[in-house]
C-alpha cells in the first residue's frame, strides 16, 4: 500500500478522471463527493467508482478512508493534468475518417 511520502504509481486515465472529479466537486461543494455522486458525474457505475477509489488509495493518491465515514475522500497531492486528447489518432485513422465523412 502506498504512503504519502512515497512517489505514487501514476494513475490510469480513468483513475485520473476520478481524481479530477473528486478535486473539482470538493472545491465546488466544500465537501468530498459520495461514490454515487462521483458515479453520476463520471457516467459510471458505483462499483466502478469504488474500485477506482480503492486503487487510488493503494497507489497513494487518496488517503485511506476510515470505516463508516462518508464523504471522506482526501487527495494526497494535486493530480496530474488531464490529457488534451485521451488517445492519439493515427494518420491512417484520420484518412479513413475523412474518406468516410465525405461520402
Instruction: Find the CATH number of the domain harbouring 85.
Output: 1.10.10.10
Residue at 92 is within a domain: yes
Any residues with CB less than 8 A from the CB of 62 and at least 6 apart, and which?
Answer: 19, 22, 53, 56, 73, 74, 75, 76
Residue at 25 is within a domain: yes
Residue at 90 is within a domain: yes
Neighbours of 3 (CB within 10 A): 8
In the chain, the number of structural domains is 1
State the residue range of the domain holding 39.
13-101
Residue at 4 is within a domain: no
Q: Kindly report, residue by residue over 33-48, the tens digit of the pLDDT.
A: 999 999 999 999 999 9
Whole-model pTM above 0.85?
Answer: no
Q: Kindly report, residue by residue over 12-36, the tens digit of the pLDDT.
A: 999 999 999 999 999 999 999 999 9
Amino acid at each position: 500500500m502506498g504512503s504519502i511520502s512515497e512517489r505514487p504509481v501514476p494513475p490510469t486515465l480513468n483513475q485520473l478522471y476520478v481524481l479530477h472529479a473528486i478535486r473539482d466537486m470538493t472545491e465546488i461543494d466544500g465537501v468530498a463527493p459520495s461514490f454515487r455522486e462521483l458515479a453520476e458525474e463520471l457516467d459510471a457505475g458505483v462499483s466502478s467508482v469504488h474500485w477506482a477509489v480503492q486503487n487510488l488509495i493503494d497507489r497513494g493518491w487518496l488517503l485511506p478512508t476510515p470505516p463508516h465515514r462518508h464523504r471522506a475522500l482526501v487527495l494526497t497531492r494535486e493530480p496530474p493534468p488531464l490529457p488534451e486528447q485521451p488517445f492519439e489518432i493515427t494518420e491512417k485513422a484520420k484518412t479513413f475518417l475523412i474518406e468516410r465523412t465525405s461520402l
